[in-house]
Amino acid sequence: MALAPDITDLLARARADLRMGVPIVLGNAHGLLVLAVESLGTDRLRDVMALGSDVDLVLTGRRAATLKARAYDGDVARVVLPNDATLRWVQAVADPADDLSHPMKGPLVTRREGDPTLHRLAVTLAKSARLLPAVIVTPLPDAKAFAAEHRLTLLDPAAAAPRLGASVVFDSVVSARVPLRAAQNARLHVFRPEDGSEEHYVIEIGRPDRAKPVLSRLHSACFTGDLLGSLKCDCGPQLNGALAAMGAEGEGVLLYLNQEGRGIGLANKMRAYALQDQGFDTVEANHRLGFEDDERDFRIGAELLRKLGFNSVRLMTNNPAKIAMMEKQGITVAERVPLKVGENPHNTEYLATKARKSGHLL
């Protein structure tokens, strides 16, 4: 029978558990108990510390660099949790909100022995749940028995790791006509990923010829810019400008991808904004939080284009990374169409940083 959850289902369950503050278990024989720092509570921190002395706070290499902690494992650092660690201390190490007002958080002792593979997987899972990339872990001699005893989600690392890095499979849910201010001949297509993550949308203007390069844009969702009219970015003007250009041409495809804040989620994006208010630029803010410059997965855009029958595009973008990823995924970029709109006194430095550090063609 196929009633039991498969690894894709279990990963979705694990993400939900971590967001609610419920621990998960990685492993079969030996393994790790994993708790997300962002949703961690005092009682569960006390309980996990009571299990043994080998409790670690796992951070990304980016966050460790900010804290001047040795990341012996490169992209992750296993910080030994002090015996007197409090919830406030743990969250202060993971979250850079008070780095400037309280810079001394150490000395931090990091591990260099042992295999960090499961620790790395735990941080990746926290990222995929749109949480701060920081977890509390402790080793379990019998992970399967521990998970069963405490009714916790158990993930087989060998099955989970490839799924976390794999391209997502999408199902077409529905499409319907939605007249827009920019184009009355528009249809909205809804695509749902099989891994239980966010849905993505495609706005199709007119009836573009699938045999020709279609005017298109990959637009990442921006609640603050697209809906609220925020002046901190150029996202809202880019969205409206792209739709207006497609409406004027009579056809086009805009992919609206739910990858808020360059793939880190709205809450982390607001954390980055708060850091920008302290004087850090957008890239520095992401690094202090423990993220890379850009955590988005542009493979999604290529997959949705193929779902609709497109293999060639005239891409409206200022970002060379989008062009490179489209080409890598087999979508021909016949032309780059610049989209330079929305600059104002509040986002001048933001745009300059994108050009200087991320290579945007502005």
Choose the catalytic residue: 17, 56, 226, 294: 294
- Distance CA(179)–CA(37), nearest Å, equals 44
Decide if 6 is catalytic. no
Choose the catalytic residue: 120, 130, 271, 296: 296
Q: Among 293, 330, 317, which residue's Cα sits nearest to residue 220?
A: 317
- Distance CA(223)–CA(217), nearest Å, equals 18
E strand or H helix at 147: helix 143-150
CB 279 within 8 A of CB 301: no
Distances (CA, A) of 283 to 188, 260, 275: 33, 15, 11
Decide if 294 is catalytic. yes
**Beta strands of the chain (E only): which ranges?**
24-27, 31-36, 56-60, 76-80, 134-140, 153-155, 170-177, 186-193, 200-205, 214-220, 252-257, 312-316, 332-337
Non-local CB neighbours of 206 within 8 Å, separated by 6+ positions: 183, 185, 246, 250, 251, 252
Task: End-to-end CA distance of the chain: give it in Å, rounded.
Answer: 56
Distances (CA, A) of 309 to 10, 35, 299: 32, 42, 16
Which residue type does 44 have?
R
- Distance CA(327)–CA(298), nearest Å, equals 11
Q: Among 53, 113, 56, which residue's Cα sits nearest to residue 80?
A: 56
| Catalytically annotated residues | 294, 296
